[in-house]
Amino acid sequence: MHSDYRKTAHIFKALADENRLKILDMLAAGSLCSCRMVPKLDISQPTLSHHLKVLHQAGLIDYQKCGKQINYRIRHEAMDIIQQFLNNVQNDNGRCGCYQE
């Protein structure tokens, strides 16, 4: 159970940045090359690369190389983890999730 909390915390830390939320919002429409993200975010390519690395390390996005381009996409498994956690928090059965068997 504690490893689930650790993974969820890692995901939420990655989400705790305005630019990373914008990146995920852009990727919600589908796979996208970083070259198309830079102008929309008004940040430098190295800064974008840092944000993409954080999102990837948290398991929120994947990437695929196509020649010189790298296309990024959302990992829906990570979104399921976030949704499940929030659903559990919202559950009002009066029991803490850490004590469930």
pLDDT tens track for 77-100 = 988 888 888 888 887 665 665 655
pLDDT (mean) for 39-60: 95
Q: Tokens 């919002």: give the residue.
A: 25
Single out the residue of 58, 21, 19, 56 nearest to residue 41, CA to CA.
Answer: 19
Residue % of the chain over a pLDDT of 70 = 87
- Annotated domain spans of the chain: 2-83
How many Cα atoms sit within 13 Å of 23 on the Cβ side? 32
Say which DSSP state 73 is in.
E
Question: Residue 55 burial by CB count (10 A; 0-12/13-18/19+): exposed, middle or buried?
Answer: buried
CB 28 within 8 A of CB 6: no
Segment 3-26 shows an average pLDDT of 92
Q: What is the mean pLDDT of residues 56-70?
A: 94
pLDDT at 95: 60
CATH annotation of 2-83: 1.10.10.10
Q: Report residue 32's pLDDT band, with 50, 70 and 90 as the boundaries.
A: very high
